[in-house]
Each structure stands twice: as structure tokens, then as C-alpha cells.
Amino acid sequence: MKRIKRVTIVGVGLIGGSIGLALRRRRKSIEVVGVGRRTASLRKAKRVGAVDQTTTDLAKGVGGSQLIVVCTPVDTIVETVRRIAPHATPGTLITDAGSTKAEIVSALDQDLGPGARFIGSHPLAGHHRAGPEHAQSDLFGGRTVVITPTRRSQAQDVQQLCDFWSLLGAQTVKMTAVEHDRAVAATSHVPHLLASALVAAMPEEYRALISTGWLDTTRIAAADPALWTHIFLSNRKSVLSNLKHVEANIARLRLALERGRTDQLETLLTKAKRSRDAVGS
Amino acid sequence: MKRIKRVTIVGVGLIGGSIGLALRRRRKSIEVVGVGRRTASLRKAKRVGAVDQTTTDLAKGVGGSQLIVVCTPVDTIVETVRRIAPHATPGTLITDAGSTKAEIVSALDQDLGPGARFIGSHPLAGHHRAGPEHAQSDLFGGRTVVITPTRRSQAQDVQQLCDFWSLLGAQTVKMTAVEHDRAVAATSHVPHLLASALVAAMPEEYRALISTGWLDTTRIAAADPALWTHIFLSNRKSVLSNLKHVEANIARLRLALERGRTDQLETLLTKAKRSRDAVGS
């Protein structure tokens, strides 16, 4: 991390803004540049203290930085990195914060020119509220960041990326992009689909009877629909595969209930409780 | 509430214990008697200050009380009320705290002898941890309690029951037992089934990638399996009916994803987000 003097964050929403805030709080010597398409968002990011400088000019924003973090929606990351690469100072490491990795990493795991090398990141942190105004300097504190290097990745780049996320308070885990996508289908994407399906089956007239169980179970359904549509499409295969298991589990519970099989129902619920207890609250 | 000098709580677990704690804190003049089968639980309840007196003798425990609250698991409430009724002082009001109402109310909405009258209650409060050691005096503060009177119910009994739950800090809502069961199928029981189905589809090796979304979505799967098996069976028809809707919604999301229909997927997620936003966090 010693050689990093300047970091560019492309896309200063909740994640980009929180990276900037955390970086400026924890390493004041690093200059943080925010790049975005909308000046309103850039102004907000500057106002909350997430960036030192801002620009809408991608080429101008990335030159001279030793690390570039692309925090745009998943469907725009590949294109953004390709546009950045020719303008990056030779040797610059580019990473992202996208919720899916296989599509992005396979598209970018190639020669990006002399200026830049890409390694994927996914910070497992977030909030169902978007925008730099919800940015938090401690968003990554104690959280896990998955890093997905490939055979082409250089050890010093991987180390630098680990050091970067550690500086923000996170712990890093390395795995392949494909492994990552399979795992987050189960831990994040399918739960999100189910939360949306639950909300849509809740008649308005029952709202008076909502309590903490429903609120907890459905909270993620309030996340940004456009953003999540692209996450689902980008991880389609793994999401559909895990969803198949979940649908089979639901059918198993339903059949036990239809048949009034107390023993089967209790066995299924007990298994689930044991797994859930093993994870903690 | 003026005429109440003694309240008996049958079953001093989380809910019964919390009622006792709240009652003793908010109206010190009322004597609280705890009745249970296991002396260990009764001792715990007394130790945490939830009851003044305890007994394992049902007949002894209910005599002389003006209100009896049955806080046993849903499958034992009907039988417990029937055993209590002959020993209750004439004019005693009996209520419960069961999560389902139709089965219980239809079984008890009849002549219970001169001693007792029954009106159903369901406090929408709880915790995934059971037992009197987790009891909280403010468990009902700001929460909703559903009361399910029938045509046979006397206005003064309904009023007394409302006053009782208000004393514990809750707000009361009146509806029929059948309406209640339909509503909680959607707001509580089906979300619980889905949480269990999700947990069971999460391979152990992915645990490192769990974040707040999964934890929130699956928290209720840690609740007591035996208790919930009886809740599901007691509300089978409404649970299966709502589950059918949820499964259809899941299939709709899955088809949109299978077909790569960005527009359909985003429309479904947007609808769900709007409904979720309307409820609050």
C-alpha cells in the first residue's frame, strides 16, 4: 500500500462513496478522485466527504492513480474497465465492487494494454438504500471482501488488493469467480428473489398484522430493482440452479403439510434450525 | 381492569414470562400466579421476577383469579382451557396467546360451564429464543395484539381483554379468528416456511460469504421446530393457500430469469419494492 498516492473511484454511489469515506478517514495521505456521469451525485459525494476531487471526464479522472475501483452497476463494469484501461498510468491496478464475478472476470482477464491489470473484488457489504448520501465510513468494517484472481494475476497485485480492503477494515477471501458466483447465488441472490415473491403475495389489508419476522425476511426486497435485475441476469445459471433446490425444499415442506405429516414437517424444520443456529444471529 | 386482583399465567415460557414481567412492573397490585408442568421452568420464571407464586397444580393455580392467560403451545391450548374451566372462579375470563386462532376459537366458543368464558388473543410479539430466561417486560410495548371475539362474546369481556393488553403496552385489533389466520399465514407462517427452505439449500462451504441479507431473511428459521410444526398444522388451509401464491410468484420470477426477460424481471422487482417501501423498515 506504500506506493499508493492516489485512488480513483468510478461511480460514487453507496459503495463507491463508502470506499472514499473510509479511505479518507483511514489514510489521509491518499488523494481520492471521484468519477461519475452525473454532476449531482459527484457534488453529493464531495459534500459528504467521500472524495477530494471529482470529474465527469473518465480519462482525466483515472490518469495518475495507482488504483482504480469501478463501483458502477454490474452490467456496465466490463465496458467501463475497457474504456478506462487506455487512459490508466502504466502498471495501474483496476478492481471493481460488483456483486457477480464470473462474467466480468472472464471478459477482463486478458491483455488490457500496458496501462492496466484487472482483478475482481466483491465487498459483502451494502444497504438497501442507494446513493452517496447513505455512504458510511465503516461500511466495510469487519465485513468480508471476496477477491477473484486468475492464473494471469500477479502475486503483488493480489497482495496490494488485499492490503487495500484490509485498510478499509475488511477481511479478504480469495476464490475463483465461478465459485464466488455459486456461493452468492445461495447466500444473497436467491434469498432476494424469495423476499420479492413474499412481498408480492402479501395483501395490503394484512399490513396491520406485520411483525419483525416479516420485516426481517423481506427487507432486501426494497433494494434497487434495476441494479438487481442485472445482478440476477449476470448470475443466471447459478441463481437458477440454487433456486431449483429451494423450490424443491418448499415443495417438500408443502407436501408434509398437505399430508398432515407432523413427523416429516418437524424433521425438516429441525434440520433448518440446526443449520441456522450454526451460523449465528 | 379495576376488578382484577389476580392473574394466572399457564405456561411460563417466553410469552407467559414476558406477560408476567410486564404485569408485575406496570400494575404492582395484581398478583401473578404461574402454572406449569415443569418445576424447573417455574423456578426460572420466579427467579427472573415474572411471577409471584408458582404451582404445578392447574386447579389450585387458576382458582381465585379474574383472568387466566394460557400461553402453552397451540396444539395444547384447547385441552388446557377445557381442563381449567371447571376450576375457575365463576365469571373468570380465559384467553390465550396462540399464533393461530380459528381451530382454537371454534373449539372453545361454547358453554365452558359457569366458571369461565374464553376469548382468543394473539400478541404479535416474540423472539426466536424460547424460555422464561429470555422474557422481556417490554416485549409487548408498541406491538399489536389481535383479539378474536365471536357473537357469543360479551362486550365487557372484550373490553377487559383490550384493557389488559393495553396495560402491557400493546395496541389491540379485533377481527374474526378466520380473518386472523388468513392474515398471519401471509405475514408470518409462509415467510417462516421459506426461511427454512432457504437455509436448507445453503451448502456449509458457502458460510464465509453470508452477509446481513441472508441473516435477516433466514432469522426466523431458528425458532422452535415443534412449536412451529403445530402452528403450521393448525393453520394448514390458509398457509397452503398463501404458499400457492408465493410459489406462483417465485415461478414468475424464475421464468423471467430463464428467458432473460430483463423488462419482466425489473417490473416484478419494482412492484415488490414499492409494496415493501410502503410498509417501512
**What CATH number is given to the structural domain containing B248?**
1.10.3660.10
Tell me the CB-side half-sphere exposure of residue B39, using CA atoms within 13 A: 1
Determine whether the interchain pair B188/A213 forms a contact, defined as Cβ–Cβ distance below 8 Å. yes
Domains contained in chain B, number: 2
Partner residue facing B197 (CB), from A182, A250, A277: A250
Q: What pLDDT does residue A2 have? A: 56
Nearest to B187 by CA among B214, B162, B220, B165: B220
Q: What region does A53 belong to: left with phi over 0, alpha with psi -120 to 50, or beta?
A: beta
Provide Rg for chain B, Cα atoms. Answer: 21
B196 and B148 inside one domain: no
A130 and A266 inside one domain: no
Look at residues B106, B141, B175 and tell me which one is the last residue of a structural domain.
B175
Give the model confidence (pLDDT) of A194-221 as tens digits. 999 999 999 999 999 998 899 999 999 9
A243 and A270 inside one domain: yes
Partner residue facing B273 (CB), from A143, A180, A225: A225
Pairing of strands B144-148, B120-123: antiparallel
Give the model confidence (pLDDT) of B189-201 as tens digits. 999 999 999 999 9
Please check whether residue B194 lies inside any domain of the structure: yes
Please check whether residue B60 lies inside any domain of the structure: yes
- Domain hosting A170: range is 6-175
Residue B51 sits in a domain of what CATH number? 3.40.50.720
Backbone angles phi, psi at A142, to 5 degrees: 75, 0
A160 and A209 inside one domain: no
B90 and B169 inside one domain: yes
User: Which of A76, A206, A270, A271 is the best substitution to test chain B (most B C-beta atoms within 10 A)?
Assistant: A206
Determine whether the interchain pair A191/B215 forms a contact, defined as Cβ–Cβ distance below 8 Å. no
A123 and A187 inside one domain: no
B213 and B128 inside one domain: no
Look at residues A114, A148, A175 and tell me which one is the last residue of a structural domain.
A175
Please check whether residue A50 lies inside any domain of the structure: yes
3-state secondary structure of B120: strand
Q: What is the mean pLDDT of chain B?
A: 95
Q: Edge-to-edge strand order for the sheet containing B120-123?
A: B120-123, B144-148, B171-174
Please check whether residue B1 lies inside any domain of the structure: no
Determine whether the interchain pair A246/B197 forms a contact, defined as Cβ–Cβ distance below 8 Å. yes
Determine whether the interchain pair A276/B236 forms a contact, defined as Cβ–Cβ distance below 8 Å. no
Please check whether residue A1 lies inside any domain of the structure: no
B15 and B72 inside one domain: yes
Cβ atoms < 10 Å from Cβ of B152: 12
Please check whether residue A154 lies inside any domain of the structure: yes
Give the model confidence (pLDDT) of A27-85 as tens digits. 999 999 999 999 999 999 999 999 999 999 999 999 999 999 999 999 999 999 999 99
CA B53 to chain centre: 24
Least Cα separation, residue B114 to chain A (angstroms): 34
Give the model confidence (pLDDT) of A70-84 as tens digits. 999 999 999 999 999
Give the model confidence (pLDDT) of B216-238 as tens digits. 999 999 999 999 999 999 999 99
